[in-house]
Amino acid sequence: MKPFRLEDHFRPIPDDPEGGLYLSAAATIWLAYDALFDMEDGSEQGRANARELIRACMAVFRAARFPKVGYLETWLDRPGADVCRVLPVLAEACDAVDSMRLMESMNRAMRDDDSAT
């Protein structure tokens, strides 16, 4: 397993005047988790979208028999998860599965959510 480096998951987009970031799949799942429990700024639809994205990713991890999927599901099902503990396991899970299948599942979850609005 390669060492975890935060900068591999949140990379600045060169020449973006607004400071945009490229996000890894693990970072995208983490941000969905953050939106799921954001009661101040998050909308109910945003929380539903985040829940669906996380559900789709966990299904891919489960289908690939990733051994720590139960750990991830437990942490991502309640507020207060520690990013320093969860993000490296998310990165490990994303590395352990077929990246095309994971991205297709994530895109499908987001597309389904967009069509619901």
Residue 38 lies in a domain: yes
Q: Is residue 6 part of a domain?
A: no
32 located within any domain = yes
Cα–Cα distance, 8 to 64 (Å, whole number): 23
Examine residue 73 and state whether it is found in any structural domain, yes or no.
yes
What are 50's two structure tokens? 């985040």
pLDDT of residue 117: 46
Residue 44 lies in a domain: yes
Range of the structural domain that residue 112 is part of = 25-116
Quote the number of domains for the chain: 1
Question: Is position 17 within any domain?
Answer: no
User: pLDDT digits over 52-67, tens only?
Assistant: 999 999 999 999 999 9
Residue 8 lies in a domain: no
The pLDDT tens digits for 1-43 are: 667 777 888 899 999 999 999 999 999 999 999 988 877 767 8
